[in-house]
């Protein structure tokens, strides 16, 4: 089954992840995370399948995250509130996100990709 690769083409981490996917000859479809951000239901599903806390889905190093003072907004937020925030702007979402429909990885670490996608 082909992977779904949510990415932002200008993102260096996304480029590294894409290169890894290409080098390992994995089939994937790309979704531009800013032009076509995942809907609330998709985000909720990605969070559940990742077994990661919702906070891990925020792009904490992003300009938008800092501008909107997200650190304070999500400090005491529940998952539902965080999903709302993430769905409101693709630039708030940590990237890339890769999923095969069962597993989900967020960000790019070669060892994580090796474990999950090879």
Residues of the chain with pLDDT under 50: none
Whole-number pLDDT of residue 9: 97
> For 3-117, CATH number?
3.40.30.10
Whole-number pLDDT of residue 40: 97
Whole-number pLDDT of residue 1: 67
Whole-number pLDDT of residue 115: 96
Residue 30 — φ and ψ, nearest 5°? -95, 145
pLDDT tens per residue, range 61-80: 999 999 999 999 999 999 99
Q: Where are the domains of the chain?
A: 3-117
Whole-number pLDDT of residue 37: 94
- For the whole model, what pTM was predicted? 0.94
SS3 31: strand
State the residue for tokens 């539902």.
80
């Amino acid at each position: 089954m082909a992977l779904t690769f949510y990415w932002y083409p200008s993102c260096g981490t996304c480029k590294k992840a894409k290169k890894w996917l290409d080098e390992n000859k994995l089939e994937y479809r790309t979704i531009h995370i800013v032009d076509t951000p995942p809907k609330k239901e998709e985000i909720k599903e990605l969070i559940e399948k990742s077994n990661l806390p919702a906070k891990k889905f925020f792009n904490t190093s992003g300009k938008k995250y800092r501008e909107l003072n997200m650190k304070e907004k999500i400090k005491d937020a529940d998952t539902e509130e965080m999903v709302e925030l993430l769905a409101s702007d693709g630039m708030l979402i940590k990237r890339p996100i890769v999923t095969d429909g069962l597993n989900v990885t967020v960000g790019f670490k070669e060892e994580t990709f090796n474990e999950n996608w090879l």
